[in-house]
Amino acid sequence: MSTDDTALWWARHRAAGPQRVPPASAHPTGMIRLVEPDASAVWLLPELPDNARPDVLDELGLPGVAVDQPNDTARVLAACLRCCWTEPSGPVWPAVPAPFDHVIGVFRGITGSRDERALHAAAMGAVRRLAGAGWVLFDEDTRVVRLGPRVASWSAAELSTLRELWRSLPAPPAGAA
């Protein structure tokens, strides 16, 4: 792949998030290929060296991208992880789809008492934000959530923290799919 093609693939990711392509099409340099469970498509995700990752911002004391409702957004991401990552000892991608109601159930469990309508509105706002950024895939018609390709960018250290978090979260209401 020419250097210009590589530059373009990295730029496409920068402009529009993780790119979903037909399985045999592109092999850009330095990008991870995440195969969809049914092998119908591949997501392309940049692979950053350890000291060029977003957590470097903390070390430098620089602000990262601002997120609306950061606490609820993080809680809903945690709830999605709890519902979709059914085997936390294994890899986080591709995990399994889960009904959004299960996610709301876990979210309710960790947010404490809140008016039901406010709870649903907060969860819906958060899951849309997360879907917009590629952290989850959310089908609004079927109300099914999956983990998004961006979760594959978590490092081994981050995943082990997340496994601990996973264990501390309440289980989804019914047996997840």
Partner 1 sequence: MSTVFDSALAELNERHRDEVLAAFAALEHGREPVPEAQLLALRDATVRRDLQRLLYRLGRTLVRAGSTHWTSGFRDDVTERLAAEGATAQSRMDRAVLVLVLVHSVAIPRSQGLVSGDSWTSAHPTSVDELTRYTQLPRGEIRPSLQRLRAAGLVQIAPPRGRSAVVDGPAYLPGPALHRLTKAARERLEHELILAAAPDSPLAAAIRARRPAPAPAPPPKAPAGQAEPAAPADETSTPERNEDT
Q: Which is nearer to partner 1, 83 or 122 (CB)?
A: 122
Residues 130-149, one symbol each (x = binds partner 1 by CB under 8 A, - = not), give --xx----------------
Q: How far apart are CA 8 and CA 5, in angstroms?
A: 5
Tokens of 135: 């952290």
Helix (H) or strand (E) holding 139: strand 136-139
Among 22, 38, 39, 68, binds partner 1 (CB under 8 A): 68
* C-beta of residue 130 within 8 angstroms of C-beta of residue 76: yes
User: What is the separation, in whole angstroms, between the first and last Cα of the chain?
Assistant: 40
Q: In what order do the strands lie in the sheet with 42-46?
A: 19-21, 42-46, 31-35
Q: Residue 106 — φ and ψ, nearest 5°?
A: -70, -40
Q: Which is nearer to partner 1, 68 or 164 (CB)?
A: 68
Pick out residues in 2-61 that bind partner 1 (CB under 8 A): 3, 6-8, 10-12, 14-17, 29-30, 46-49, 51-54, 56-57, 59-60
Output the smallest distance, CB 175 to partner 1, in A. Answer: 34
Q: Residue 123 — φ and ψ, nearest 5°?
A: -65, -40
Q: Which is nearer to partner 1, 31 or 176 (CB)?
A: 31
DSSP state of 61: T
Interface with partner 1 (CB under 8 A), residue total: 35
Site membership for partner 1, residue 74 (CB under 8 A): no
Output the smallest distance, CB 29 to partner 1, in A. Answer: 5
154 Cβ partners below 8 Å, 6+ apart? Answer: 92, 162
State the residues that interact with partner 1 by CB under 8 A: 3, 6-8, 10-12, 14-17, 29-30, 46-49, 51-54, 56-57, 59-60, 62-68, 129, 132-133
